[in-house]
Amino acid sequence: MPLRSASRSASPLHAARAAVGCALCAALALPALLFDSPPVLGAVALAALLAGCAAGAGRQLARALLLALPFTLVIALLNPLVTRNGLTVIARLGEAPVLGRVDVTLEALVYGCVLGLRALALILCCALYAAVVDPDEVLRLFRRVSFRSALTATLATRMVPVLQRDGRRMADAQRCRAGVAPSRVALVRAVAAGALDRAVDVAAALEVRGYGTARRPPRVRASWSRHDVAFALVAALLLALTVGARLGGVARFDAYPLVHGGWGAGTWLLSGALLLLPLVPFLDRRGIEPRAAALALAWGRR
């Protein structure tokens, strides 16, 4: 589930403060927004996936990947059908309603793949954020600035698993119906009504917990751990590298009118750095028991 709330596990990234986790995910996502180069986008996607695995959230990231792949494919296939750019025609599909004359170009196909890869990289970065950053800590982090906005954003994440459970229950209930199944429109309407009911329930719970009169919380100073420092450093390096490479014209890639990209050492060095840098802090596993030992200990306590 890509947007499932983070569950705490023993990893350096989980041990880092929420601000650092947010910074790392943002720094990792930034190159995906600024560069079109396929090696760079691939490196970002792979880095997010590997960081998730190293943080013990591999299953969540794998689910996000499975959900994102069809989306990626759709983008890649749709772009050449709707784009008129590009000089190398590889297929003439004739006239189509709404679209008009459809000539598929190599450049549009390549750029569709780039867009799909970018979407994939961004989805994986978001999935990494959802898997490793505690939304409660994010709430604490941002509510000194804007409590209500932070709470709304955090609860939106929190509501996802609740609504998913509701959705599963409703799906089961519909499978239990005798006779003809209801129309999709009726189902969508019922799901929307159920979500609104849930939202009202949660709003009532918030009110009776004193949310309506929430005061600005006092500042809490906590010393920086070695994991905080390591991941913050990595986030800063990623940011500097991304901005520097962009300003320096490294890893340029143009799809139109003809595919033209910089495939030199700079591109590969940048991609390698984006791939490896986020993984370096995971090497420090002092104080974290191996998984087998932790499982054995947990089993012994039963």
Partner 1 sequence: MTAALALERLTYAYPGADAPALDDVTLHVEEGELVVLAGRSGSGKSTLLRLASGLVPHVHGGTVSGAAHVAGMDVRAHGPGELAAVAGSLFQDPETQVVMGTVRNELAFPLENRGESPAAIARGVEEASLALGIAHLLERPTHALSGGELQRVALAAALVGRPRIVLLDEPTSQLDPVAGDELIGLLRRLNEEWGTTILLAEHRLERCLSAADRVVAMVDGRVACDADPAGFLAWAHDAAPALETPGARLLASAGLGPPPVGVKQARAVLRAHSALPPEGPAALRAGPVGSGCARAALPGGARASSPPPARSAAAPALRLRGVWVEPRHSMPILRGVDLSIASGERVALMGRNGAGKSTLLRHVAGLASPTRGKVSASGRVALLLQNPNDYLVHERVGDEAQPDALSAVGLAHLRDRHPRDLSGGERQRLALAIVLGGEDVASPALLCLDEPTRGMDRAHKADLAVLLGRLAATGTALLVATHDPEFAALVADRVVLLADGAPIADGAAAEVLSGGWYFATETARILRGAGGALDPDAGAALVRAQLDAAAAWPAAASPAVAPAAAWPAAAPPASHPHPTEVHRR
Nearer to partner 1, 92 or 216 (CB): 216
User: Rounded distance, CA 44 to CA 29, Å?
Assistant: 7
Which CB atom, from 103 or from 137, has the smaller least distance to partner 1?
A: 137
Nearest CB to partner 1, comparing residues 93 and 295 = 295
CA torsion 167-173-178-179 (nearest 10°) is: -10
Rounded least distance, CB 208 to partner 1, Å: 4
Of 53 and 162, which CB lies nearer to partner 1 in the complex structure?
Answer: 162
Residues 80/259, Cβ–Cβ less than 8 Å? no
Distance between CA 214 and CA 235 in Å, rounded?
Answer: 33
Query: 189 or 285, CB closer to partner 1?
Result: 189
Min separation Cβ 293 and partner 1, Å? 18
CB of 232 to partner 1, least distance (A): 23
- Closest separation in Å from C-beta 63 to partner 1: 14
Find the shortest distance in angstroms from Cβ 189 to partner 1.
7
Q: How far apart are CA 132 and CA 116, in angstroms?
A: 24
Interface contacts to partner 1, rule CB under 8 A = 5-8, 134-136, 140, 155, 158, 161-162, 165-166, 169-170, 172-179, 182, 186-187, 189-190, 193-194, 197-198, 201-218, 220
